A = this chain, B = another copy of it.
């Protein structure tokens, strides 16, 4: 930690500050610059760095160490591979998770599942508890939806991914689901994070709408710190001033996250853009930039989907995407793994 002293601080004040820091067992080394004087403060920092800015004589504090530990690549240089049944996320193969935004009735859901499996998807997605901006929108089928997901797994063999929105759903998740998704709006719902940290199921953690990468990793740290190391990060677009797309997909987050952490990272082009017509080019870009997987919405009759039909690919478009990706993945692999 670097502590910048206030200009015009007296010798005496400066000494008092150094003593105070030393009394808390930090090692302190002073550097007098041309305009500023700074202290290098060494030791295990047990308080929020902003705390030190409240000390008398301190102008600014600059943290040097990263605030996350367990998710950091420094302590865990090898990339983590998260196993969901026989699907490995973060390994050599691109993982495509596909399905409707919300689980609707049984027959329709099963039909989509069969199709996406045939096209090469290895996990199935579908929401049973839907966090909706409006209280008047469809809020999901609840446990009925989870039951349908369980049937999907039984029939197709696809592991199922679904969103959890409250700690009270923990038992249901344990019972029915293979991967628990934490949505963007709940990325800093810390009670929920602690809860999924204890469940023991793999967690797909979406980046918040305006979360920095550091905050996103801190949320992952919450889950790991409860003992659950199976976290998959998912970038789904951030909020900017641009209005042609729902969000702005931050693909640079992929190499940045891979540099900072050992966790796998996947891309959700459907929520990022908010329109099916951008999903295919963005999915390709995600593969080229080095993402470990994709989360894609598919619906046979988008105009009848209960939720977010506009961003769902029709089955034939999904087929085309999967074909395109085959070529692309080979090209990307030929060039060697896209590592940070």
Q: CA A286 – CA B54 in complex, angstroms?
A: 25
B238 touches A240 (CB 8 A): yes
Across the interface, A328 reaches (CB within 8 A) one of B245, B288, B323, namely B288
Q: How far is the CA of A245 from the CA of B168 in the complex (A)?
A: 37
Is A285 a contact of B221 with CB atoms below 8 Å?
A: no
Does A188 make an interface contact (CB < 8 A)?
yes
Q: Which of A79-87, A149-157, A246-254 contacts B (4 or more CB under 8 A)?
A: A246-254
Tell me how many residues of A have a C-beta within 8 Å of chain B.
Answer: 108
Query: Is there contact, CB below 8 Å, between B288 and A134?
Result: no
Q: Is B242 in contact with A212, judged by CB distance below 8 angstroms?
A: yes
Q: A240-B250, A252-B273, A327-B335 are in contact. List 14 more A-B contacts (CB 8 A).
A: A31-B31, A34-B65, A35-B65, A36-B64, A54-B309, A131-B188, A134-B218, A135-B218, A168-B191, A209-B210, A240-B241, A278-B340, A281-B288, A284-B288
Residues of A whose CB lies within 8 Å of any CB of B are: 2, 4, 7, 29, 31-36, 38, 40, 42-44, 48, 50-51, 53-56, 62, 64-65, 67, 74, 131-137, 165-168, 185-186, 188-192, 194, 209-210, 212-215, 218, 221-222, 225-226, 238-245, 248-256, 259, 272-274, 277-278, 280-282, 284-290, 302-303, 305, 307-310, 323-324, 327-328, 330-332, 334-335, 338, 340
